[in-house]
Structure 1
Amino acid sequence: MTDPTRIAAPAIRRGWLERGPGPDPKRGQEDFVEVGWDKALDLLAAELRRVRAEHGNEAIYGGSYGWASSGRFHHAQSQLHRFLNAFGGFTSSRNTYSNGTSSVLLPHVVGSAADVLRNGSSWPTIVANTELLVAFGGVPEKNVFVTPGGVTRHHTPGFLAQLAERGADVALISPLRNDLPDRLRARWYPIRPATDTALMLALAHTLATENLHDRQFLDRYCTGYPEFERYLLGVDDGMPKDAGWAATLTDIPASDIVDLARRMASHRTFITVTWSLQRIEHGEQPVWAAIALAAMLGQIGLPGGGFGHGYGSMGDTGDIGPDFRVPYLSQGVNPVRQFIPVARIADMLLNPGMAYQYDGAERSYPDIRLVYWSGGNPFHHHQDLNRLRKAFTRPDTVVVHEPFWTATARHADIVLPTTTALEREDFGAGRRDTHLIAMHQVVEPYAQARDDYAILAGLATRLGIGDRFTEGRTPWEWLQHLYGAWRDHLMDKGFAVPSFADFWHAGEYRLPQENPDRTLWADFRADPIANRLATPSGRIEISSKRVASFGYDDCPGHPAWLEPVEWLGGERAASFPLQLIANQPRTRLHGQLDGGAVSQAGKIAGREAVRLHPADAEPRGIADGDLVRIFNDRGACLAGAVLDTNLRRGVAQLPTGAWFDPVGTLCVHGNPNVLTADIPSSRLSQGCTGQHVLVEIERFAGEPPGISVRRPPVISRESEM
């Protein structure tokens, strides 16, 4: 609560304060001046009025993408979007960095993204019925302890333990052995990164050529299989996608591929694909290919069979908690129809007016003059951070609400200090959580920090929309109002829900339990006519005429192998021969609490740890604990080396989330996103590609630059100017 990086008072970048709004290459490099709250809000209100009058509400980008902190009323994005909607609207974003590629693809293939991402088979069903779990990307246990809003009861580790006790077979398909708990009986297939689609196609080819596929299921429940089979057999391109073909791409022996296909056909098999597989170039393909493979097995809708997406990516996937909405603050309606796919922020800022394709439509980027961010950190989750730094110099004004001096706050013009979850009262629950939690205030707000609600209410009053934003309620009155309306709704459905006073005193309310298993796929299997999917055919679209009609060469109308640029078999590997996997950390949630004791304990000399295979470290003269420089043609970062045989040769692993600490194009703290490419997965989804990147690694000699992110930037007070 009193970390040196806490923001103590409203702060304005010196150049913006002295020269006024406008594009500025010094953004992110200048010092800040602390001012009083009244002056900060007056200046910001005036700038909002100016931008709206001169450029329209479309010129305001309400970024606010990120995890923020727990709590439903003080949810930072809801607060900011509610305020901006009351002000006349803003350019918004769609989808996520986590699964934005899948979110666009899945409606075309199975009619709904939510039914796959949120309502798949439960872990109890998998534990009781699955004989063979084929885990593309594994089931990384470190990820299942988090969901947006929090997790009260951590169920997944127990289900994985039950799966191990039952002796289920698991095929782990990942470059990283620790993408699956050791206790599970698993065969590790150390695949070359970014080639999962090639393996899936070869498995499908084996099923087709050995007549192991379920033709009745394909005929009754799917459309487009004949076109896909032509591709598998190489009828049109002369290249059968057989096990021998895939072996050269994946580094998995052809005999192992054939054997795995036969085992999948002879057992109750559940295929799961982590979100990481779609965070790459052509990330649509492994998700689509996995669905096609599961359809060929004919087990979709059977207990313990079929496919899933995100098991091991998030704590609520496969969970058995109730699935209904907890109290929330309405954001209102955004009058501005303009939006961008969330991962295209740098493109938007750098290229106003430029045309681009998205999900079959041609769109163009708006001319953004004011970026307003609350509850997120794009300098954590975006790719090619040196390019993002350049993009952030372009707007007239950047506004950030933050408790801490993150890289995003340091690249802002107006920085407003906010409270953390422990410094205010709220209620919270995660997706499929078991409890609604009364979040009692624990400590007083730090220094001059204020709630987002208080900040935005002050702005709204200055802009003449105070009543519309607050509806005359204090935060405490909002909590009682939102809880009361939610309680009335549940009581109408027959649930016994305590009064707000009783709930607040007890500290929690156990949410009513619902049926832990969704019945979508079982119902579809029972009657695909009455329970048709929301696809054009009403069935699973192994080939999609609609996607094919878009004419995208980077996402054709059926699952296909499309060679990425950033992979070990491509041309770039000659210059950068190591594949860096930038996955989620085990010591923090994304970049949150990077300065905390748990995260700091995992660092080496204060820098993020990169794992290397000893066989890759030895010829580079790198020993365990050495400081190394990881680099490519986009940038470089420093990290501490950890030698580990639990990853395949040619692969290094550096988790995301180290706070960005640039010295020129070098991040001295170990953020991998100085290396990753800011390119879309495809024109279909415009999703991010931050999971893999090609690099070289060398031992760092000499005195390294110091780490600055553990202290605030240079700050002066207005009276000192």
Structure 2
Amino acid sequence: MQPDNKQTRWVGFSLCEAFCLSFTDWQQSLINARPRTPETRCLVDNIVATSESAELQQDYEALFYGTRWNVQVPLWASAACGQPVLLNETTLAVIHFYHLWGHTPPELDGNPADFIGNQFHFLGYLDAARRYHQQQQDGRAREISRAIEDFTQQFLLDTLTAMAASARAAHLHPAIIDFITLMEMFVLSGSDIDIDFPAAFLPPEHPLLPAIENPPRKMIHTAGVNNCGGRCVINAYEQQGCILEIGTDCGRRTPQLRACVRGRGYRHTFLNTQRLRYPMKRVGRRGEGRFSRISWDEAIGLIASEWRRITDKYGPASRYPQASSGNEGGLRGDSMMQRLMNLDGGHLGRYNNYSSACVHYIMPYVYGDNRGSSAIEDVLNTQYLLLWGHNPAETLFGTERNYALTQLKQRGVRIVVIDPRQSDTALAYANEWIGIRPSTDSALADGMAYVIWTEGLYDKAFIDKFCVGMDEEHMPANIPPHESYVSYLLGHKDGVAKTPEWAAAICGVDRETIKRLAREYATAKPACLMPGLGIQRTGNGEQTVRSLALLACLTGNVGVAGGGAAGGLETGRHPEINFPKGENPYPGKIPCFLWSRAVEHGEEMTSAKDGITGVERLTTGIKMLVNIGGNLLVNQHADVNDSLRILNDESRCEFILCADIFMTSSARCADILLPAPSFLEMDNFSHSWLYGDYILSNNKVRAPLFESRPEWDWIHELAGLLGHGEKFAEGKPTMEAWRRFLYEQLRSQNRELPEWAEFIEEGGYRFPPVTPYVAYQEQRQHPDKSPFNTPSGKIEIFSNRIYALGDPHSRPAIPKYVACHEGAEDPLRQTYPLQLLGWHTKRRAHSVHDNNPLLEEVEPQRLWINPQDAAVRNINDGDTVLIFNARGTIRVPAHVTTRVIKGVVGLPQGAWYTPDTQGVDIRGCINTLTSTAHPTPFAKGNPQHTNLVEVRADR
């Protein structure tokens, strides 16, 4: 005798596979359904009638597998109840409910236990137990029935409601909507429907199992590994695979390695419901963001096939591993991919980076190396601090930097910030904020230098002993007259003295402020000029770097404690752990900013024109792009629309492989897209950021979600298919084996490091304090023994090597202001009168964290505009505005504020490019408006802070 429908309603949907079946199995189950009422029969008939539709299959995968970029349907109780974060307190409550009734949830495609399929499976388990005890007449059936109703009300209905609302908002296929409606009806009223699922999936009648004891909550040491200025201690509190809380350094260290708001928000960033879940292949047009789920075996096989085809046809120079990686730990997927390529003949290499191309390229011409920044601890010795375009309060620029600046402020040392925007650093630390027009820093430096020189405030003894080319007396032999810096400053050659009045007209800082600033900096002994990196990500970035170094030299602050050489990056004091990439057999390298040019015009690129090294010219364009954990294909590269045009032309780049945690705008361009685990789901190492005396153990908190896999696992398999498995592994077949090996290798160089077990248990190690590094102190104290590593052995204010290039306008032999494309003096300002400034916001690390809704409260994505500029455009605070130029358009709210100077608008960089149907970006990705047309003259670096735009209200 068949039980009535009310009693069997959970049996029909008890199997979790109702939400994990392949589309074909799901389709067949619905065809075999036996609806008993007209209403349910109509719904099932509607679904079956369109079940052959390819669009329905794609929407089914978008719903359950996350295969479409703009479809985000919550399938988990945690996404519908409380905080919308996977593996949160709601997930734990669901697990505890399961355990109370003796149920262990099955593994369903790596889903968290509160997955909608698991919820139905649990109710099927309870219903089968209820039927068993009903037959036994032992009184437990009623108790189980109450549990079914309680669970339904607490979790299942909320999940279904959220799921239905999101599916409707995403305009999924009507049959999908009917299916979810059918489930809602089924739960709410026990609709008369039987569905024939495979018998093996149906839970047999069974007695209720004993309650399962829940293990206690535990704390696990880990660490942030993003490309963020802070590398901080993270203490994750885990129970039953749920990550319930993020803590940080508890005070054992001084200064503490504390997480900022970004680190404390890691759960909402990385346990986000937008996670990539399964390997996928592209099914729509490239860039459209439409994919189909495939197996890992199929994915790796397709990669190997395209790898061989492209290599055989075009050679190793056609393969390019992209420069960015969200994982900056010791074990990086992009390094592993380069290792495999190097074993297989090599790849097109790269030099420079997006962050510091200009400072890294030009400093060796000045000082002979890139060690031009003292340790942060040395700033405590200064009597005056000039933060030039430097914003550590938001970027951090090292976990310990703000601690030092706070101490300096408490001591009463004068701190001045130069920036077009009154940054949080200016608010928190500065005695004075000086606003400046973007890309005019060299003009301000020249105006200051004029005052320092003409008023005799310079350090003559230092210049005489250590500098070449400052004035005519210190020039190299055989150079014509008036090529020195002072000759330029006084206008001996061009007839224009670089007075404060001259500088003020360009940079927007009034002449009296320039004079006072110059005198303050020159007379404070010692004085530290500490530049940020944003000022060299401009069209004339190399000149800015040289001009600030010139000021340090002019005042004799180089090589003294508390002074500073105005170099850009500090130097680490301890060896780091890095996955070995091996040697690249192919010699050719491109400047990393020119990768999109190498896709479209590779065979036209030469060493003379494009800065290629190792070969005279490229013989092929980039045909295979590998982008692991980075968003540089689209979001973080300049000119988004042009990048998409280039990438979406499949006749140019023929294969794009991406691995990531989320379907970013870059991942949407993939042909094969692979899911990666977050740092909470894998082991790694985290080093200090640029400087610092510690190394942290990134200990895995839980197993990877869904079918995500660490890069080592699948790259090792790929290496095997390509015939390099043994050489790739070198006898270390797992990532854990490599992790242990690399630590022991580091320990052999640093015997003070603890044993492996202690290192893991403590979550890292802090090295004993060392004497702070002072840039070029050795050269200053012992010039005969330790000359500067330049051709002259001195600091080269005038560079003979640059002079020999014969390009005095774009690449002058001395530091000087050079106007740049879309800078303050470009005639294009007649059309686009506002300079657009980007900055690294406290709520993101590049594009990481933009999906974190809590951090939107920290700093909403909006355009900063000065009240005077807003008034002439009839823009009020909070109005929606359009920011545009010839390259694209952005629609965002406006923030009218005096914290940005007149003539400049500001937009935080890193927002995820999100176009509407007209191609207007509605999230605020600044690279919709930036340009690739004019890389910097020397380094061919990133000029993305030099842009002209117009703004109008969107009414």
- Cα deviation, residue 603, structure 1: 6.3
* Alpha-carbon contact 1:555-1:682 (below 8 Å) kept: no
Shift of 1:255: 2.4
Matches within 5 A, 1:530-545: 530-545=785-800
Question: Is residue 69–residue 420 contact of structure 1 (8 Å, CA) maintained in 2?
Answer: no
Q: CA deviation at 1:508?
A: 2.4
Q: Say if 2:762 is the partner of 1:506.
A: yes
The residue identity in structure 2 corresponding to 1:175 is P
Identify if the C-alpha distance between structure 1 residues 179 and 551 changes in structure 2 by more than 3 Å, giving closer, same or farther. farther
1:259 Cα deviation (Å)?
2.4
Shift in Å, 1:286: 1.2
Structure-2 residue corresponding to 1:132: 384
Q: Deviations over 1:367-393 (max 9, x none)?
A: 211111112111232111111112213
C-alpha distance after superposition, 1:520-555 (max 9, x if no partner): 422111122211111111111001010111123311
Compared CA separation, residues 266 and 511, structure 1 to 2 (3 A): closer
Task: Note if contact 2:447-2:500 (Cα within 8 Å) is conserved in structure 1.
Answer: yes
Percent of aligned pairs with the same amino acid: 29
Q: Which residue of 2 aligns with 1:710?
A: none
Alignment partner of 1:7 out of 272, 276, 279: 276
Q: How many Å separate the matches in 1 of 2:762 and 2:562?
A: 39
- Which residue matches 1:449? 708
1-structure distance, mates of 2:440, 2:410: 31
* Other-structure match for 1:190: 435
What do the CA deviations read for 1:156-204 (whole angstroms, capped 9, x no partner)?
2221112212222223222112253434342222122221111111111
| Structural mapping, 1:566-581, within 5 Å | 566-581=822-837
Partners of 1:439 and 1:210 lie apart in 2 by: 55
Q: Quick one: distance in 2 between partners of 1:283 and 1:136?
A: 13
For 1:554-633, list aligned pairs within 5 A.
554-602=810-858, 608-633=861-886
- Structure 1 range deviating more: 537-546 or 504-513: 504-513
2:781 paired residue number: 526
Give the secondary-structure state (helix, strand or coil) at the position aligned to 1:208: helix
SS of 2:446 mapped into structure 1:
helix
Larger radius of gyration: 2
Q: Say whether 1:652 aligns with 2:905.
A: yes
Whether the 8 Å CA contact 1:283–1:681 is kept in 2: the answer is: no
Structure 1 partner of 2:741:
481
Corresponding position: 1:29 with 2:281: no
Distance 2:783 2:611 in 1: 26
Larger deviation: 439-448 or 182-191?
Answer: 182-191
1:282 aligns with 2:532: no
Helix, strand or coil for the counterpart of 2:306? Answer: helix
* Whole-angstrom distance in 1 between the partners of 2:495 and 2:329: 56
Cα pair distance change 1:328/1:617, threshold 3 Å: same
Name the SS of the counterpart of 1:307 in structure 2. coil
Cα gap change, 1:84 to 1:568, in 2 (>3 Å): same
**What CA deviation, in whole Å up to 9, does each residue of 1:641-678 have, x standing for no partner?**
12211121121110111111124542121101010111
Point out the more displaced range, 43-52 or 355-364.
355-364
Match of 2:886, as an amino acid?
Answer: D
1:11 partner amino acid: M
How big is the shift at 1:450? 0.8
Q: Is the 8 A contact 1:639 1:670 kept in 2?
A: yes
Contact 1:300 1:521 (C-alpha < 8 Å) held by counterparts: yes
Q: Could you report, residue by residue, the CA deviation over 1:413-443 in whole angstroms, capped at 9, with x for unpaired residues?
A: 1111111111122232224344332322212
Query: Any conservation in 1 of the 2:351–2:589 contact (CA below 8 Å)?
Result: yes
Measure the CA separation in 2 of the matches of 1:472 and 1:523. Answer: 44
SS in 2 for 1:509: strand
Would you say how many aligned residue pairs link Structure 1 and Structure 2?
661
Kindly indicate whether the alpha-carbon contact (under 8 Å) linking 1:613 and 1:644 is maintained by their aligned counterparts in 2. yes
* TM-aligned CA distance change 1:407 to 1:530, over 3 Å: same
Q: Distance in 2 between matches of 1:569 and 1:616?
A: 18
Superposed counterparts of 1:205-284, under 5 Å: 205-226=450-471, 227-268=484-525, 269-284=527-542
C-alpha separation between the residues in 1 aligned to 2:940 and 2:767?
A: 37
**Residues 822, 946 of structure 2: 8 Å contact kept:** yes
Query: What is aligned with 2:951?
Result: 697
Q: What residue ranges of structure 1 are gaps of 5+ in the alignment?
A: 16-25, 148-153, 312-316, 702-721
Q: Which letter does structure 1 place at the counterpart of 2:798?
A: S
Q: 8 Å contact 1:57–1:88 — kept in the other structure?
A: yes
Match of 1:305 among 560, 563, 587: 563
Question: Contact 1:679 / 1:689 at 8 angstroms: preserved in 2?
Answer: no
- Matching of residue 421 in structure 1 with residue 674 in structure 2: no
In structure 2, the CA distance between the partners of 1:613 and 1:70, relative to structure 1 (3 Å rule), is same
Q: Distance in 1 between matches of 2:671 and 2:656?
A: 5
Tell me the residue number matched to 1:355. 605
SS class of match (1:622): coil
Report the equivalent of 1:204. 449
> Which residue, out of 109, 112, 127, partners 2:366?
109
1:47-86 superposed matches below 5 A:
47-63=306-322, 65-73=323-331, 75-86=332-343
| 1:19 alignment partner in structure 2 | none
Structure 2 residue 638 is matched with structure 1 residue 383: yes
Residues in 2 aligned to 1:324 and 1:5: alpha-carbon distance in whole angstroms = 38
Find out whether 1:177 has 2:422 as its counterpart: yes
What is the aligned-residue RMSD (CA, Å)?
2.0
Who is 2:666 aligned against? Answer: 408
In structure 2, what is the Cα distance between the partners aligned to 1:681 and 1:551?
Answer: 19
**Structure 1 residue 687 and structure 2 residue 941: aligned?**
yes
Please give the secondary structure, in 1, of the residue aligned with 2:912: coil
Residues 111-152 of structure 1 show CA distances to partners (whole Å, capped at 9, x for unaligned) of 112x02xxx223332223x222222214441111x55xxxxx
Comparing 331-340 with 422-431, which one deviates more in the overlay? 422-431
What do the CA deviations read for 1:40-66 (whole angstroms, capped 9, x no partner)?
111110111111111111110111x22
Say which SS state the counterpart of residue 750 (structure 2) adopts: helix
Equivalent-residue separation in structure 2 for 1:306 and 1:429 (angstroms): 25
Distance in 1 separating the partners of 2:906 and 2:420: 10
C-alpha distance in structure 2 between counterparts of 1:35 and 1:184, whole Å: 53
Q: For 2:780 and 2:612, locate their aligned partners in 1 and report how far apart those are by CA, in whole Å.
A: 30
Alpha-carbon distance in structure 2 between the residues aligned to 1:374 and 1:224: 45
TM-score, normalised with respect to structure 1: 0.88
Query: Is the 8 Å Cα contact of residues 658 and 671 (structure 1) preserved in structure 2?
Result: yes
Which residue does the alignment assign to 1:167? Answer: 412
Kept in 2, the 8 Å contact 1:554–1:682? The answer is no
CA distance 1:165–1:576, shift in 2 (3 Å): same
Q: Against the structure 1 CA distance between its residues 578 and 602, is the aligned structure 2 distance closer, same or farther, given a 3 Å change threshold?
A: farther
Q: Residues 53-85 of structure 1, C-alpha deviation per residue, up to 9 Å, x if partnerless?
A: 11111110111x224225312x12211111211
Q: SS state of the match for residue 271, structure 1?
A: strand
- Structure 2: tracts of 5 or more residues without a match: 1-269, 472-483
Give the aligned residue type for 1:375: G
